[in-house]
Amino acid sequence: MIVGIGVDLVDIPRFERTIARTPRLLTRLFALAERPLAARSLAARYAAKEALIKALGGSDGVHWTEMEITTDAAGKPWFSLTGSTAEVVAGRGIRTLHLSMSHDAGLAIAYVIADGEPAPAEPAPAEPASASAPAEPASASEPVEPRT
């Protein structure tokens, strides 16, 4: 079951200018093994990490250097997650992360699909019912339940 999806697009020349202006970003954003790569490959990896954060629904507990993108013998990219980032992913019921990256014409793109079983949601605290309270309007995505 798809638990989340994320996509990100990076302008490679802009990414290169940012890294040139602020070189310490390399150590903040990339694992040691990623840092020597060409700018276009780093931009694609940055896009992959952003796409993963989007697939997770947020960055709580996620750290940039704990998300390393490596490739297998055939060149297929995959995430190597460590620390609290690995815990966050497992805690959200994600068993598999599918990753696709590309760069061309000055742009880098990455797409992530998080696959697994969603972690059970914690129940919201019950609110006391009031007989005289008017019914609240529901959003377009919520079913309307009658009050008793």
8 assigned ligand-binding residue: yes
**CATH pick for 2-116 out of 1.10.3210.10, 3.90.470.20, 1.10.10.410, 2.40.40.20:** 3.90.470.20
pLDDT on residue 124: 63
- Stated pTM of the model: 0.79
Q: How much of the chain, in percent, has pLDDT values that exceed 90?
A: 78
Tokens of 32: 């040691």
Helix (H, G, I), strand (E, B) or coil at 73: coil
Domain-by-domain residue ranges, the chain? 2-116
pLDDT on residue 127: 64
Percent helix, percent strand, percent coil in the chain, to nearest 5: 30, 30, 40
CA distance 10 to 15: 7
115 assigned ligand-binding residue: no
pLDDT on residue 2: 95
- pLDDT, tens digit, for every residue of 39-77? 999 999 999 999 999 999 999 999 999 999 999 999 999
